[in-house]
Amino acid sequence: MSTAVPPARRVVAEAVGTAALVAVVVGSGIQATELSRDVGVQLLANSLSTVFGLGVLIVLLGPVSGAHFNPVVSLAAWWTGRRDGDGLSLRQLAAYVPAQIAGAITGAVLADAMFARPLVAWSTHERFAPHLWISEVVATGTLILLIFGLARTGHARLAPAAVACWIGAAYWFTSSTSFANPAVTIGRAFTDTFAGIAPTSVPAFITAQLLGAAAGLGLVVLLFDPLLPSPAREVVDAAVPAASFAEQGSSRP
């Protein structure tokens, strides 16, 4: 992320990128359920769409804002760079997070609009179980480890492909399908579709994501801190995460 980019443009990039990411997640989930009744096929379509969409968004908007699209990534970037001033400033963090949340909600509403669904319909998909919270700790922690590990080893340029691929894998090896993103989690509460999460399940997911982010940062220090003092501003994400990100279908918690 270039320091020459105006702050307002960075914030807009975060809002637009997060909105586009959630539109991809929710829209592909709706499309998948309309095209197939098989939950495995639905999840495959949803995950592939998210992988491709996330990778493209990171490549496009990374040079503008860092392509965080995720409050825990922004928080980690601020935390790791707070002493040397090489990451996000506290003011930038305070601007990024609301923009990401607003973008996520907008993306969910946009996806519903594209498929002629109610623009806002609170999700009824309850995801309130300890195994899902453990999955969110793991998904978020490994995402932070990947992003900041790449930066610490001088491989931040690989982030678009690496982060997108990891999110795609986490769709399948975590029972929560790797939301790993507080903003996306909030946005997905606004759609009662394949990708939704009930509002009552959101606080526990976000708590697990914050715990995962702290664990991921601890692993970065343990594994990579002595290697390279790589600038936090090189870090890019999502996700879905990010991404986040996929929904696991009605037959799963």
204, two tokens: 């526990």
Residue 240 has pLDDT above 80, yes or no: no
pLDDT level of residue 235 (50, 70, 90 thresholds): very low
- For the chain, percent of residues with pLDDT exceeding 90: 82
- C-alpha angle 216-170-107 in degrees, rounded to nearest 5: 95
State the residue for tokens 């080893």: 153
Query: How many CB atoms are located within 10 Å of the residue 187 CB?
Result: 32
How would you label 217-248 residue by residue, b for 16+ Cβ within 10 Å and e otherwise?
Answer: bebbeeebeeeeebbbbbbbbbbbbbbbbbbb
Pairwise CA distance, residues 195 & 141, whole Å = 22
Residues 6+ apart with CB under 8 A from 228: 152, 153, 154
Domains of the chain, CATH where assigned? 7-234 (1.20.1080.10)
Pairwise CA distance, residues 24 & 200, whole Å = 24
**Per-residue pLDDT, 228:** 53
pLDDT level of residue 58 (50, 70, 90 thresholds): very high
Residue 245 has pLDDT above 80, yes or no: no
Residue 73 has pLDDT above 50, yes or no: yes
**Per-residue pLDDT, 226:** 66
**Per-residue pLDDT, 247:** 39
Pairwise CA distance, residues 188 & 212, whole Å = 20
For 149-198, write each residue's pLDDT tens digit. Answer: 999 999 999 999 999 999 999 999 999 999 999 999 999 999 999 999 99
N- to C-terminal Cα distance for the chain? Answer: 38
Phi-psi region at 237: left, alpha or beta (left = phi > 0; alpha = psi -120 to 50): beta
Residue 6 has pLDDT above 80, yes or no: yes
Residues 6+ apart with CB under 8 A from 205: 127, 132, 133, 136, 176, 179, 182, 185, 197
